[in-house]
Chains A and B, each alone.
Chain A
Amino acid sequence: MKNLIILQFRKSLLPFSVLAGAVLLSVPAALLFRPDSLTGPEAVNIAMLFWALAGLPLAIMALAGAAGSDASSDAARASEQPLPESQYRQVLAGLAAAAAQTALLILAIYAIMGFSVPLDKLNFVNAHVASHYFFYAAFLALYAFTLSYALRNAVAGGIAAAALLAVTAVPLLSASLFSGLMLDLVPMAFLNSLTGILVLAGTLGALSLLCRAYARKEAGRAVKALFAALLLAAPALPPFIGLAILRGKSAEVTWPVFPLTIQADAPQDAPGVMLVQKPFTGEVFLIDEEGRRAAVFPDDSARGLPNYFFPVPAFVRGQTMAGPDGSVWVYADRYDKPGVLMNGSAAGGLKLRAAMPDSWRANFVRGKVPGIVERRKDGYYYAQLTPGDGPLKWENVKNITGEAAKRWITGTGAEALLDAFLRSRLAEAPGVAVLAADGRTVTAGGGKWTVPGALGPKAPLIGLRLGDGMSYVVPAREGKGYAAYLCPPGKAARRLWGDYFRPGANLWAAPDGTLWGYSRKSSIVLTVRKLSGASKKEFDSPQFNILTREGKSIESFRLDNVLRDLPEAEGDIALVREEKGELWFTIGNGYLVKTGANPNGPYSAWRFPESVREKYWRSTLLPTRNGILIAAMDGVHFMDWEGKAKRL
């Protein structure tokens, strides 16, 4: 075999030497003709880049193609077939020589680049291509040889090989890029390995069949040729199957439309619905705990060939708000469509109340009558959200008057104008409090409280409906530290906890009205220490303060005991329910945990369906009164408080 390989190498020594010489000569040429803007090494690298991207593929096609067509030629048959080696081994020797020449050319280019490809200086796609370069080169060499052998023509074989490489590599590359840039929906390592194995096995198998059909002239030549063609086409199958799986799975991926909250005067009043998007089909819908859904934007997955090979997410932002009549208001804005404002329910469907083609963004405003503030190119507009079917009356925010507005308008620009407007609107709204200019007087819906040394926040304070009615928590300075003051209805403000707590920042109300906040951090910090050769996990987890609906305060509650037991526990921890002394927490997008008031006591934990990783989205969970709505990789799920989950 060695003699045969040497022979084949020698047969194509001249063209190989010319190509290798051209590669080597391009180094002094690059240095000689380099522009002033480039250093010597940069000029050489660019020359080598040219070789890698254009010159080398053509060289491989030429060398391997010529070797393949030569192996099937009458001249080779006459001069080599009488040798006591099988015809298959003789053809394989030609293939090995072509592969060796390809490897030598790549090695030469790699060596000239100093055995280092500057991946960090390439963009993601180029770096990805560079890291798979050997696969592409090997594919081209194997296929150019095999197809040229089959077609007995180097040019036709080389072009066919390049076409098959494109057919195989494009879906593989797009699936790989999708996995790297978006989501791991297909097992790329398996797919790459399988494709690589099929390329090698396919070409070797096809060559064997072609040898038997055309060199040995065995019976059933047409069938053997057909099988050879199938073997050569086989490597394209895994990438396309992978792409089909990717498309199928990506069509099921759901993400919440953020921000993932439903505005309501009280969490207990919020309907159990979630505004969800399927980013890779463009579909947006409102879904409830029973799985009933109302469309906002329909499925729009047929977005052309580029999108077929690389599904691009159609990001949607929007808001939901519970109306006083129990209906849901939805604002949604897909990047490629006019924004819409809709009203209705998941069960009964949503009606379009306003198309918002000029919308930059919009925010719902709770108040005596709920409203929406829309930012357009020419300013802010406000409309009250009235029930019924009639058109909304838009009001340019610039036209507002009032003492609050005047105070904030002065020298503070459009954002301050909006803020002033909202304050004037919200001052009388249930569930919204504003702090007076003295920083100590809190007013809301007729209620008035005085707290010592409040911080004077610019944003309105969101009310929390606790056991004794709509209450407000105000963070206030206390000496060198802070304290949180509770302003309950009809009573004077009282000191709640001795730390900084602010609604919407580190203080929240669970859907059942339980007040909870964390005093240090929201997420888990995990460190692994090596102690005498053994690993030990150490958690630094949030420390919760909780005020139940019955007014019972729990302070410095931690879940370290639970976290130690749960693998892969990471992300934000949130209290989602309290009932008869039992507490329900969500841990990241991973677990629902039920525990008693004793943090070291028994607990139950249930795994959520897999969601899009938290590095992209903080939470894919929406707690409701009855359980958790989960926007997962394979659709929307619902899990009740005892961990029973169903796909909606």
Chain B
Amino acid sequence: MNDHILEARGLKKAFGPKEVLKGLDLSAARGEVVGILGRNGSGKTTLFSILLDLTAADAGTAKILGARPDGSGRVRSLIGYVPEKPAFHGFMTAKQVLEFRAGFFPSWDMAKALGLCRKLELDPASRVSAMSKGNLAKLAWITATAHNPELLLLDEPTSGLDYLVRDHILNGLIHELTEGGKTILVSNHRMGEMGGILDRVCVLKDGVIAASHAAAFLAEEAFRAAARLESPVALPDGVVALNGSGALREFAVFGRERLEKLKLDPAFAGAEISPLSLEDSFKVLLGE
């Protein structure tokens, strides 16, 4: 049995002459946490929108827990979604939002929702129109998880939040993972802060998944090599120039085997090798 919670094949989407997705393939296995890495405007939100059945793909197929985004909105009952800019009706209180949403999700767990309110220090009686950005993010997190979805789509879930709120959200994520084995698709400009929970990082570039790396690989087999080069050299595959001026240059090297090969190159003799941080790895991947 295919254990993929999410499977997208050949997704295409254009807005006028601008092709945002150009045949994107993506899958996520049950319990997998996948980070979508891409620059602004690379199509992350469009991808999420298609998966959520909010936007129709021009071509390609997507399947989420066996359901297809067909315009009925049914797949949204299977997904917990945290948008980049959460919005609720201003005239409602947090509790009214939860009660209202409960009417749409048969598996809604009000006790869990209220429990999360307490845990995240969100007053259920507070009115949405008076909520801070952080409280809106908390409410979004609660509404995304209260119906116990198997798949969470998180679109910049910590964007613009202070450290405390961010910790709350990340702790919530970890809790969902440990308690429920959720599948999570997350896009985040500061992917480094997610590093500990990611299983895989996919690079969305030019409308397709340009690269996909296991998070463990990036954590353990990404290195920084600093070397003094007397003359320009051709860089082998898997080695990316980072910065430097004059003869002193820095390189990112992905893979222990490539690192060993590089060390054998006379030009890199004496290079100083150190681990590359996740944050820097993501920067390299984005810049590739």
Contacts and interface: CB of A to CB of B under 8 A. Distances in A.
A216 B85 CA distance: 19
B73 A83 contact: yes
Nearest to A86: B73
A535 interface: no
B72 A86 contact: yes
A75 interface: yes
Contacts of A88: 71
Interface stretch (A3-11, A339-347, A599-607): A3-11
Interface in B95-113: 100-101, 103-105
Contacts of B56: 212, 216-219
B87 A78 contact: yes
Given A83-B76, A84-B77, A86-B72, A216 B104 contact: no
Contacts of B91: 10-11
A82 B55 CA distance: 11
A93 to B, nearest CB: 12
Interface residues of B, number: 28
B213 to A, nearest CB: 30
Contact of A219 (B58, B88, B89, B103): B58
Given A84-B74, A86-B73, A78 B83 contact: yes
A79 B104 contact: no
Interface string A376-408: 000000000000000000000000000000000
A216 B71 contact: yes
Contact of B83 (A7, A75, A82, A212): A82
B54 interface: yes
Contacts of B76: 82-84
A96 B207 CA distance: 40
B74 A79 contact: no
Interface string A56-88: 000000000000000000010011011111111
A85 B73 contact: yes
A86 B103 CA distance: 15
A82 B89 contact: no
Contacts of A81: 54
B101 A83 contact: yes
B15 interface: yes
B2 to A, nearest CB: 24
A82 B85 CA distance: 12
B130 to A, nearest CB: 16
B259 interface: no
Name the residue among B13, B54, B101 with the largest chain A CB count within 10 angstroms.
B54
B246 to A, nearest CB: 50
A11 B90 CA distance: 10
Contacts of B83: 78, 82
Nearest to B16: A221
Name the residue among A81, A84, A88, A217 with the largest chain B CB count within 10 angstroms.
A84
B81 interface: yes
B151 interface: no
Interface in A458-495: none
A605 to B, nearest CB: 64
B87 A216 contact: no
A217 B55 contact: yes
Given A84-B74, A86-B71, 18 more contacts: A3-B103, A3-B104, A7-B89, A7-B100, A10-B91, A11-B89, A78-B85, A82-B54, A82-B76, A83-B73, A83-B104, A84-B105, A86-B73, A87-B54, A87-B71, A216-B56, A217-B13, A217-B55
19 contacts: A7-B89, A11-B91, A82-B52, A82-B54, A82-B76, A82-B81, A84-B73, A84-B76, A84-B104, A85-B104, A88-B71, A89-B73, A212-B56, A216-B56, A217-B13, A217-B15, A217-B56, A218-B56, A219-B58
The 10 nearest A-B residue pairs measured at CB: A78-B87, A84-B77, A84-B76, A3-B103, A79-B87, A218-B56, A86-B73, A216-B56, A219-B58, A217-B55
